Every structure is written in structure tokens, then in C-alpha cells.
């Protein structure tokens, strides 16, 4: 479903991602963890073209994006990739000038060219799914962080993505609001969605993910099963990281 081949990303001289190769099959839930600055978010953003790759290639649901592609080909491929992927951001990025339901409807109308009434039905169902049916007509600023992030998940799901990308979805939330977002994500995982989650929630990664990618210095240092990883990480880098995380 997702395939990275020798994927690299650098800004000027600074190499953020170094020759990453991996395959993620359909329905797999992958948690990407690691210290900040390790390139986790950049890696995720390369998967849907929010960052331009500078080396290698990435293939999403058989849409192959190569660093050597001409701009026109690249934009076309990225556009196709984005039809198959949904993304959830750390800062939610809901549209503040639109109500909750309009946030979910927007891409249905603009990208999928659905009629307003069809989009409304779809959006209402999704909001119900994330437990926010009673908030349809309020503006995002009136919602808690957890509620906003659930709307953002509904907005991404509206496009019926085959892959969901989560970029630290709970990092901007008050601790007591983390659970409601993780619950929605867990349900999604149980339904068989292919998911890549950059997260600092170790317990969630352990319980919900099928696979852990531990990144450091722009590389995937460890790629293992959650149980094995959290019981005894293979590399010293990962051991140190986990020790730090569990310090208090």
C-alpha cells in the first residue's frame, strides 16, 4: 500500500531523511516514534506530498512519485495520492471561518463535486461516528481541542481515504482530552484502516499499532513488533529514548 524506496529529503545541505526504504501493507497500523528532530513528521509529510522528496521514490496505492519527476508529473501524482490519503495535523487546522459540518463538507463539494445535500448527509454521518453530531453548526473555536481533532478526523475520512496519516494528533491536547481522540483512532484501526501515526503516546502505540518504526537522525533505526520493541529495544538509541520517556 505504501512503499518508500531510498527516500531522501534535504533542505539545502541539511539532510533530514536519509535513504529510507520500507513497505507498509494494507490494513497495517504503524506508529512512528522517536526523538524530536528525527524526521518523523517530515517522513509522514513526504507520503502525501506536503514535503517534496529530494531523492528516491515513494509509492502510495500504486501512484509512484519519484524525486526525478518533472514538476507537472509530480503535481499530478501528488494530486492522485491525496485522493487516497487523509491527514490529521497536530494543530487540527480546521477552517475557522466554517462551521463544523461545513469543514467536513468542504472537500466533498469542492473536490468530489458532490451536491450540497449529499455532502451534508455524508458529513452528518461522519460527525455522528466521531460523536459530535450535536456540534454540527458551531464554529471550531467553540470546541475543545479534543473535539476539534475529532472533527479533523471526520474531515479526513469524508474523502474515503485508503490511508490515514496522523501527525502527532494528540500533542497539542490537554491530557484529559487525549483519550477521546485515541479512542476514535483505535476504532478506525480496528475497522482495518491503513494508518501511519507519528506519536508520543507510547501506551497507545503499544496497544493499537501492529508495527513500530523508531526513527533517529533521519533514519529508521528500528522496525519491529510493538511487544518486542517496548519489552526490549534492539538498539542502544531506542533503549536510551525509552528510558528517557519512562524517566518519570
Kindly state the smallest distance separating residue 206's Cβ from another protein, in Å. 27
Q: Which residues face 9 on adjacent strands?
A: 17
Kindly state the smallest distance separating residue 115's Cβ from another protein, in Å. 17
Interaction with another protein in 11-70: which residues (CB under 8 A)?
A: 48-50
Count of residues in contact with another protein, rule CB under 8 A: 28
Q: Which is nearer to another protein, 140 or 169 (CB)?
A: 140
> Which of 9, 40, 63, 82 touches another protein by CB under 8 A?
82
Would you say the C-alpha torsion 186, 188, 190, 195 has a positive or negative sign? negative
For residue 10, what are the contacts with CB-CB under 8 A and spacing of at least 6?
A: 16, 17, 54, 55
Q: Give the residue carrying C-alpha cell 456540534.
A: 135
Closest among 21, 82, 20 to 50, alpha carbons compared: 82
Kindly state the smallest distance separating residue 185's Cβ from another protein, in Å. 17
Are 36 and 61 a contacting pair, CB within 8 Å? no
Q: Which is nearer to another protein, 30 or 107 (CB)?
A: 107
Query: Under the criterion CB under 8 A, does residue 96 sit at the interface with another protein?
Result: yes
Query: Under the criterion CB under 8 A, does residue 86 sit at the interface with another protein?
Result: yes
Q: What span, in angstroms and rounded, lies between the C-alpha atoms of 157 and 150?
A: 10
Kindly state the smallest distance separating residue 97's Cβ from another protein, in Å. 5
For 85, which DSSP code?
A: E
Q: Which residues face 119 on adjacent strands?
A: none
Query: Under the criterion CB under 8 A, does residue 110 sit at the interface with another protein?
Result: yes
Question: How is residue 161 written as a grid cell?
Answer: 481515504
Contact set with another protein (CB under 8 A): 48-50, 79, 82-83, 85-87, 89, 91, 93-97, 106-107, 110-111, 139-141, 152, 155-156, 158-159
Amino acid at each position: 500500500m505504501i512503499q518508500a524506496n531510498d527516500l531522501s529529503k534535504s533542505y539545502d545541505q541539511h539532510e533530514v531523511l536519509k535513504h529510507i526504504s520500507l513497505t507498509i501493507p494494507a490494513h497495517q497500523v504503524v506508529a512512528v516514534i522517536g526523538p524530536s528532530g528525527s524526521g518523523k513528521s517530515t517522513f509522514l509529510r513526504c507520503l502525501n506530498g506536503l514535503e517534496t522528496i529530494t531523492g528516491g521514490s515513494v509509492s502510495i496505492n500504486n501512484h509512484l512519485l519519484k524525486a526525478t519527476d518533472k514538476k507537472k508529473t509530480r503535481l499530478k501524482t501528488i494530486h492522485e495520492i491525496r485522493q487516497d490519503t487523509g491527514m490529521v495535523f497536530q494543530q487540527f487546522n480546521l477552517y475557522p471561518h466554517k462551521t463544523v459540518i461545513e469543514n467536513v463538507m468542504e472537500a466533498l463539494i469542492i473536490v468530489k463535486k458532490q451536491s450540497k445535500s449529499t455532502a451534508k448527509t455524508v458529513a452528518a454521518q461522519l460527525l455522528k461516528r466521531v460523536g459530535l453530531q450535536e456540534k454540527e453548526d458551531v464554529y471550531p473555536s467553540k470546541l475543545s481541542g479534543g473535539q476539534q481533532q475529532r472533527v479533523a478526523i471526520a474531515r479526513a475520512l469524508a474523502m474515503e481515504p485508503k490511508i490515514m496519516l496522523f501527525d502527532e494528533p494528540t500533542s497539542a491536547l490537554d491530557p484529559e482530552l487525549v483519550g477521546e481522540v485515541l479512542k476514535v483512532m483505535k476504532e478506525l484501526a480496528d475497522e482495518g484502516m491503513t494508518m501511519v501515526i507519528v506519536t508520543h503516546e507510547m501506551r497507545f502505540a503499544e496497544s493499537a499499532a501492529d508495527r513500530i518504526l523508531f526513527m533517529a537522525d533521519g533514519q529508521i533505526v528500528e522496525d519491529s513488533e510493538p511487544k518486542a520493541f517496548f519489552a526490549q529495544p534492539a538498539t542502544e538509541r531506542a533503549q536510551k529514548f525509552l528510558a528517557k520517556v519512562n524517566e518519570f
